[in-house]
């Protein structure tokens, strides 16, 4: 079955262009945009881990190694499209327009961290596995019914394919031919469970057959393959043809979260054969004349300043309001919760 779903690549591990069809579509602007956002979210990710270790941030889910998958797919979106992320896709949401400050706030348990910019359709991160897939199908169906050309992307990991929501989301989207892209980042492990214990099928892409939709496998560490194939899937969806399932084969370099120890369930040797996605685009830039030392230096300085400002804003944000625990659960607060809220504040008044 893997022969039917070969891993599509545009550049190889050494940054050499191996698919000449894309040569005319790779511009200096695209190359620098991909590099900039990948470097940006890596710097954010490493800063977040440091902040967590210092006790300045809560438990955090790193994504280092998956920058090409997240940036390449997010840059294929239009401003009015929808993004349905997991808890590991903050690289994609930052690329799409969510602020670093709000993202830091999310990882500090603040309700404000779920608030997207007014000009972007970004769903709050889904912590329950795969619940965002039916949501994405529903949003895409709504866009189709109102006659727009907007589409949705739903991010999920390999472990999500074991959930009922995965099958329900794909089935609904297929039946109603809604404009949604199901974007799987297959990093080989669902926490400590390897892919071979997650499913018996050889690929995730082949699961598309059951739902009558296109399914493709791409090299998730090749930012060009991710960008062009995701853009193609969006064009297909917006043309009224329905959903696509994309399996981006990648690798999570670090722990599942900062509360996890990956050495207990996987060997360090497993990831050594995988060339880092940032290294690959750097090699490409140097080989094809896009590398500019002054621009790289200025970019690094710019990103450091942006992240430092975001940390400062996060740490000087107004203290959280206790009533947020009550106010943001239901559209209309049920009597029992209102009673608890009143009792709590009455207790505060007696202190």
Tens digit of each residue's pLDDT (9 = 90 or more) over 38-74: 999 999 999 999 999 999 999 999 999 999 999 999 9
Residue 350 has pLDDT above 70, yes or no: no
Q: Across all residues in the chain, what is the average pLDDT?
A: 95
| pLDDT at residue 80, as a whole number | 98
Catalytic positions, written as ranges: 252, 256, 265
Q: How far is CA 290 from CA 29, 72, 181, 282, 294, in A?
A: 10, 18, 31, 9, 12
Residue 175 token pair: 């039946």
Of the pLDDT bands very low, low, confident and very high (cuts 50, 70, 90), residue 1 is low
**Per-residue model confidence as pLDDT tens digits over 73-93:** 999 999 999 999 999 999 999
Q: 148 by DSSP, 3-state: which?
A: coil
Q: Are 221 and 275 in contact (CB under 8 A)?
A: yes
Distance, CA of 63 to CA of 160 (rounded, Å): 17
% residues pLDDT > 90 (the chain): 90
Which CATH number is associated with domain 2-320? 3.40.50.970
Locus of tokens 């550049």: 11
3-state secondary structure 73-105: HHCCCCCCCEEECECCCHHHHHHHCCCHHHHHH
Domain ranges of the chain: 2-320, 322-351
- 206-228 burial, b at 16+ Cβ within 10 Å, e below that, comes to bbbeebebbbbbbbbbbbbbbbb
pLDDT of residue 12: 97
Examine the pLDDT at 175 and tell me if it is beyond 90: yes
- Maximum alpha-carbon separation in the chain: 74
Write the pLDDT tens digit of every residue in 210-235: 999 999 999 999 999 999 999 999 99
Q: Which residues contact 338 (CB under 8 A, 6 or more apart)?
A: 326
């Amino acid at each position: 079955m893997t022969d039917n779903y070969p891993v599509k690549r545009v550049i190889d591990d050494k940054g050499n262009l191996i698919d000449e069809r894309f040569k005319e579509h790779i511009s200096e602007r695209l190359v620098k945009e991909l590099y900039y956002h990948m470097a940006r979210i890596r710097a954010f990710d490493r800063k977040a881990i440091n902040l967590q270790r210092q006790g300045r941030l809560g438990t955090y889910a790193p994504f280092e190694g998956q920058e090409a998958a997240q940036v390449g797919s997010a840059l294929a979106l239009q401003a009015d499209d929808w993004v349905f992320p997991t808890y590991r896709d903050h690289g994609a949401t930052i690329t799409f327009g969510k602020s670093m400050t709000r993202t830091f706030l999310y990882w500090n348990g603040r309700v404000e961290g779920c608030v997207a910019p007014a000009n972007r359709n970004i769903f709050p991160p889904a912590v329950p596995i795969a619940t965002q897939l039916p949501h994405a199908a529903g949003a895409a169906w709504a866009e189709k019914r109102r006659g727009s050309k907007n589409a949705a992307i739903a991010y999920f990991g390999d472990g999500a394919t074991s959930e009922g929501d995965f099958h329900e989301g794909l089935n609904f989207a297929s039946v109603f031919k809604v404009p949604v892209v199901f974007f799987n980042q297959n990093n080989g492990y669902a926490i400590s469970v390897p892919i071979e214990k997650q499913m018996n099928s050889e690929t995730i892409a082949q699961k598309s057959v059951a739902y009558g939709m296109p399914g493709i496998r791409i090299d998730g560490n090749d930012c060009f393959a991710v960008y062009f194939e995701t853009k193609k899937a969006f064009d297909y969806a917006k043309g009224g043809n329905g959903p696509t399932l994309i399996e981006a084969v990648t690798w999570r370099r670090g722990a599942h979260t900062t509360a996890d120890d990956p050495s207990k369930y996987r060997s360090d040797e497993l990831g050594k054969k995988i060339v880092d996605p940032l290294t690959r685009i750097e090699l490409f830039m140097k080989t094809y004349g896009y590398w500019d030392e002054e621009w790289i230096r200025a970019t690094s300085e710019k990103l450091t300043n942006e992240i430092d400002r975001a940390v400062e804003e996060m740490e000087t944000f107004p203290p959280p309001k206790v009533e947020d625990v009550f106010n943001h659960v239901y559209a209309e607060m049920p009597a029992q919760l209102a009673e608890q809220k009143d009792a709590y504040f009455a207790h505060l008044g007696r202190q």
